Amino acid sequence: MSKSKTSRKKDSVFLGEKLTRFSVSNHHLLAIGGIAFKDTLLSMYFYGLKGLSDEGCFLVRQMEVGQGAAEAIRKVHGKIYRVGSSPDILYPNSGSSRDWARIQGIPMTYTFELRDNGTLGFLLPEDQIQPTCEEAYSGALHIITYTHDKTFNGAIAVTGATLWSMLLAVGVTRVTM
């Protein structure tokens, strides 16, 4: 990540922008980012995280939630997303916003790598934009719902970010489901 992107991400988390996180009383529960292209849902790196509690159980939960989101995405238009850490399913990298967010204490962090599978690069054909938004909506909704249900156990919650602002974070607008 570039210096300017890193600075903006830090500022969005610590200065209170509500577009990339789901929070309660300034306790951040979830961070979702989006980029193109690879049809993947990336979880954090999981390497060198000494001092973070219960990482074993956390890793299993992170993968289960990611697999659930990938299944929600598949149900929309049949698109198959791979789930895992970048070194496991793409290439080794570190210093991503999802890794940084986890180290800052945000328990659930993901990056959606949206369509296409790499053939067209960043030039997504117009006829794939709406389906991509619908898939991202479905996957993000699964992650947000899981995070809400596990945090509040069915209680009514007053949150620092609305569902709509979370969905804007992954670039979803004007989607009708």
Residues annotated as catalytic are: 113
Sign of the four-CA dihedral 170, 172, 173, 177? negative
> Please, are residues 83 and 40 in contact by the beta-carbon 8 Å criterion?
yes
DSSP labels, 112-166: EEES--SSSTT---HHHHHHHHHHHHHHHHHHHHHHHHHHHTT-----SS-HHHH
